[in-house]
């Protein structure tokens, strides 16, 4: 219970209560009269004793009743408020965060368990109609008269229980929410609830109350979020500036970055990079231990100072932990499981260990099918490709398509010998008659497959065109700037819905990607020689991205195979058999277009299988998310509840209950009147 005007009530109490009590100390002024006896005047004697200012105050039922009346009036003057679940007829949505940071143990046993406990308490305070207990409700199953819904969210959101008036179903839905190690994003949950909020705002007799039970460590906390037509109430879980009373101070050391690279010229040389951050309130001294296939290779002691305090006005994740970076160098031509861990006992274990499968040393072999293009040759060689072969289109058509494909990865790292095929084929202005079984790049050409086609420029199209848009976050176009590229007669692409458009010109798509039967085809409709792109720095950057991405199975930046929670893995599987990965959870997958598509990873750890060749037989899944490792509870969630309004802090709804105390004072006053009149008749 809270009060809106406590100072006013305290001032009034300091004046009126002493005045009331003093009335029972005052001595009455009486006229002296001579009488023969006081035997029949006992009541008068008692009255004189009660009003004697020098005697102890006697028990008086009237004084007690009058104090109750005055107290009730003073409470009403203070304007008391109560935190309510919902008004009769309103609907309640309970939103529970089950992301990685909710596994923190600063509250016992975990934050997620505490969040589920808070949700169950909310359900216990709802009657069968969805209104507060005692407020009356609708019939069971009539969700239009109230009811509640349970939503769980991490990287995505799902309805654990749709609107119902059955408390048992709501409790089962809450208890069934399982922990994950995924990132936390509140936006999908708000989008999922939005249709219900709109319907509630249209019906003035109903309303929607949304309880968000979370530690506030959401990725989109710094972005505009809104949910018009609903009342939002944020229940913080965990320790920190805005956390729960009694929770332990946040204490976590997380490994937030981990990658491995091989030298271009000497790929047997491996460099491992890592970054650790302290998000706790005290100094940490610990050791980082690097192991290769279970054998300790390096031990690096580190010391990190406490994380700087977060400003009270900053409600978004700061990621401002004290950090340190480490690097490990060693020689390993083959494959190995690389694991980095620290030995500090903190409150979140999912970021204490990271792992990746180091791919074998491999020098990429690239085939360039062209009639001559020095810019393209120099560009491919500049990205570290030392085994570059050349063919004319006529010679290429004489090749066996099967022999063009290079052998698979070998744990010994012995692959890469001459005559073993190619990792990437680049077609310069030539479209092959048969589709190669090798990942390929097509410039001013296209593969002979359904789903993508190159259309030359027509006479009514501008001769010179610019690139209008491109996918800047795509691995092929990362760090590639195309705004200053001018193309001459670039043509356009006709693509199917299965293809991914990477860049668009004035006439339509000019760059796209298509995967068929496990083979990736990257197609550009324009000729690089008829543009100024070869003299731009973005040209070798694009070639480096494409060759490394196609040739190393997506490992454009790293030499290790590792994933993060929330990601989907695509592993080679030419056998067509189903695969089963065992680890923190069991993953059952089937072959899709020459590859196995694994479901989204929900828990960190190592997943193993015997169904594929190394290095994809061991998949490391890590958290690597500073937003989740920073376990300090956010004090507010910035969500606007009015369309077009600025960001507003979510706050609990307060219902004034001063009228209850007025009615209580009137009831006690009636009792006091009855007692007084009864005494007057004695």
Q: Are residues 178 and 198 in the same domain?
A: yes
**Residue 45, pLDDT score:** 57
* Cα–Cα distance, 616 to 607 (Å, whole number): 10
Q: Is residue 597, in this structure, part of any structural domain at all?
A: yes
Q: Is residue 543, in this structure, part of any structural domain at all?
A: yes
* Cα–Cα distance, 413 to 360 (Å, whole number): 5
**Residue 409, pLDDT score:** 47
Decide if 335 contacts 409 (C-beta within 8 A).
Answer: yes
Decide if 127 contacts 118 (C-beta within 8 A).
Answer: no
How far are the Cα atoms of 200, 252, 257, 440, 571 from residue 563, in angstroms, in the given order? 41, 22, 12, 25, 12
How many CB atoms are located within 10 Å of the residue 219 CB?
Answer: 18
Of 174-178, 375-379, 676-680, least confident by mean pLDDT is: 676-680
Mean per-residue pLDDT of the chain: 81
Enter the DSSP assignment of 202. H
The β-bridge relationship of strands 500-505 and 295-304 is unpaired
Q: Are residues 157 and 241 in the same domain?
A: yes
For 368, how many CA atoms within 13 A lie in the half-sphere containing its CB?
A: 21
pLDDT at residue 602 is higher than 60 = yes
Residue 258: burial class (beta carbons within 10 Å; 0-12, 13-18, 19+): buried
- pLDDT grade for 142, boundaries at 50, 70 and 90: very low
Report pLDDT digits (tens) over 207-258. Answer: 788 999 999 888 876 677 888 888 888 889 988 765 666 677 889 999 999 9
Q: Are residues 605 and 675 in the same domain?
A: no
Q: Are residues 36 and 161 in the same domain?
A: no
| pLDDT over 90 percentage in the chain | 42
Tokens 């060689």 belong to residue: 381
Report pLDDT digits (tens) over 258-306. Answer: 988 887 667 788 999 999 999 998 999 999 999 999 999 999 999 999 9
* Cα–Cα distance, 661 to 667 (Å, whole number): 10
The β-bridge relationship of strands 424-428 and 587-589 is unpaired
Q: Is residue 102, in this structure, part of any structural domain at all?
A: yes
* Cα–Cα distance, 434 to 429 (Å, whole number): 15
**Residue 309, pLDDT score:** 75
Q: Is residue 279, in this structure, part of any structural domain at all?
A: yes
* Residue 151's CATH number: 3.40.50.410
Report pLDDT digits (tens) over 501-547. Answer: 999 999 999 999 998 877 889 999 999 999 999 999 999 999 988 88
End-to-end CA distance of the chain: 43
More confident residue, 43 or 329: 329
Residue-wise burial string across 339-368, b where 16 or more C-beta atoms lie within 10 A, e elsewhere: bbbbebebbbebbbbbbbbbbbbbbbbbbb
- Host H or E run for residue 509: strand 509-516
Report the domain count for the chain.
5
Domain boundaries, position 577: 560-622
* Residue 587's CATH number: 2.60.40
What is the four-CA torsion angle of 611, 616, 620, 624, rounded to 10 degrees?
Answer: -140
Q: Is residue 257, in this structure, part of any structural domain at all?
A: no
Q: Are residues 497 and 543 in the same domain?
A: yes
* Cα–Cα distance, 561 to 514 (Å, whole number): 22
Domain-ending residue, one of 494, 519, 551: 551
Q: Are residues 377 and 503 in the same domain?
A: yes
Q: Is residue 86, in this structure, part of any structural domain at all?
A: no
Strand partners, 524: 443, 511
How many CB atoms are located within 10 Å of the residue 280 CB?
Answer: 22
Q: Are residues 437 and 513 in the same domain?
A: yes
The β-bridge relationship of strands 284-292 and 336-342 is antiparallel
* Cα–Cα distance, 175 to 353 (Å, whole number): 28
**Residue 586, pLDDT score:** 93
* Residue 380's CATH number: 3.40.50.880
Quickly list DSSP for 635-657: S--B-B-STTPPP-B----EEE-
Q: Are residues 203 and 108 in the same domain?
A: yes
- The stretch 77-81 carries a mean pLDDT of 73
Residue 506: burial class (beta carbons within 10 Å; 0-12, 13-18, 19+): middle
**Residue 350, pLDDT score:** 96
Q: Are residues 668 and 539 in the same domain?
A: no
Q: Is residue 299, in this structure, part of any structural domain at all?
A: yes
What is the four-CA torsion angle of 585, 588, 594, 595, rounded to 10 degrees?
Answer: -10
Q: Are residues 126 and 34 in the same domain?
A: no
Quickly list DSSP for 367-404: EEE-S--HHHHHHHHHTT--EEEEE-HHHHHTS-TTTT
């Amino acid at each position: 219970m809270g009060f809106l005007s406590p100072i006013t009530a305290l001032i009034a109490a300091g004046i009126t209560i002493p005045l009331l009590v003093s009335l029972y100390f005052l001595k009455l002024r009486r006229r002296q009269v001579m009488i023969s006896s006081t035997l029949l005047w006992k009541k008068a004697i008692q009255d004189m004793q009660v009003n004697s200012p020098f005697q102890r105050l006697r028990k008086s039922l009237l004084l007690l009743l009058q104090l109750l009346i005055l107290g009730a009036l003073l409470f009403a003057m203070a304007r008391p408020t109560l935190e309510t679940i919902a008004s009769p007829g309103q609907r309640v949505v309970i939103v529970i965060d089950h992301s990685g940071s909710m596994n923190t143990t600063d509250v016992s046993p975990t934050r997620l368990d505490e969040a589920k406990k808070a949700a169950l308490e909310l359900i216990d305070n709802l009657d069968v109609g969805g209104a507060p207990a005692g407020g009356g409700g609708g019939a069971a199953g009539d969700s239009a008269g109230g009811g509640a819904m349970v939503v769980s969210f991490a990287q995505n959101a799902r309805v654990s229980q749709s609107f119902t008036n059955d408390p048992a179903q709501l409790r089962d839905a809450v208890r069934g929410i399982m922990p994950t190690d995924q990132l936390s994003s509140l936006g999908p949950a708000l989008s999922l609830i939005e249709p219900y909020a709109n319907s509630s705002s249209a019906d003035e007799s109903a309303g929607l109350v949304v309880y968000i039970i979370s530690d506030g460590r959401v990725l989109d906390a710094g972005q505009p979020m809104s949910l018009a037509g609903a009342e939002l109430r944020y229940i913080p879980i965990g320790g920190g500036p805005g956390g729960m009373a009694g929770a332990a101070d946040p204490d976590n050391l997380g490994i937030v970055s981990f990658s491995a690279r091989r030298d271009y010229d000497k790929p047997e040389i491996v460099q491992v990079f890592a970054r650790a951050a302290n998000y706790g309130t005290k100094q940490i001294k610990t050791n980082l231990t690097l192991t290769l296939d279970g054998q300790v290779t390096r031990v690096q002691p580190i010391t990190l100072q406490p994380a700087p305090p977060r400003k009270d006005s900053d409600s978004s994740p700061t990621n401002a932990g004290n950090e340190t970076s480490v690097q490990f160098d060693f020689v390993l031509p083959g494959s190995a499981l690389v694991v980095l861990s620290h030995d500090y006992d903190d409150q979140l274990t999912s970021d204490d260990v990271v792992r990746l499968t180091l791919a074998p040393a491999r020098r990429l072999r690239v085939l360039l099918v062209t009639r001559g293009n020095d810019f393209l040759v120099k560009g491919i060689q500049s990205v570290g490709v030392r085994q570059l072969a050349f063919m004319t289109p006529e010679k290429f058509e004489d090749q066996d398509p099967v022999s063009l494909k290079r052998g698979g990865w070998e744990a010994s790292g012995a692959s890469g010998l001459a005559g073993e095929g190619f990792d990437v084929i680049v077609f310069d202005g030539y479209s092959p008659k048969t589709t190669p079984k090798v990942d390929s790049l097509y410039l001013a050409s296209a593969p002979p497959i359904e789903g993508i086609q190159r259309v030359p420029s027509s006479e009514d199209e501008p001769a010179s065109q610019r690139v209008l848009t491109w996918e800047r976050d795509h691995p092929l176009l990362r760090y590639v700037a195309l705004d200053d590229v001018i193309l001459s007669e670039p043509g356009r692409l006709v693509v199917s819905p299965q293809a991914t458009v990477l860049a668009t010109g004035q006439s339509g798509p000019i760059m796209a990607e298509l995967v068929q039967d496990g083979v990736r085809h990257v197609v550009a409709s324009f000729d690089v020689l008829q543009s100024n792109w070869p003299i731009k720095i973005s040209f070798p950057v694009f070639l480096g991205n494409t060759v490394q991405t196609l040739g190393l199975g997506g490992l454009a930046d790293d030499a290790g195979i590792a994933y993060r929670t929330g990601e989907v893995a695509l592993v080679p599987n030419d056998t067509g058999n189903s695969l089963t990965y065992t680890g923190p959870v069991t993953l059952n997958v089937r072959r899709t277009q020459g590859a196995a598509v694994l479901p989204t990873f929900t828990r960190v750890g190592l997943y193993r299988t015997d169904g594929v060749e190394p290095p994809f037989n061991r998949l490391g899944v890590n958290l690597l998310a500073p937003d989740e490792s920073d376990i300090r509870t956010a004090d507010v969630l910035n969500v606007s509840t009015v369309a077009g309004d600025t960001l507003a802090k979510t706050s609990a709804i307060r219902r004034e209950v001063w009228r209850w105390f007025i009615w209580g004072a009137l009831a006690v006053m009636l009792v006091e009147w009855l007692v007084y009149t009864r005494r007057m008749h004695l």
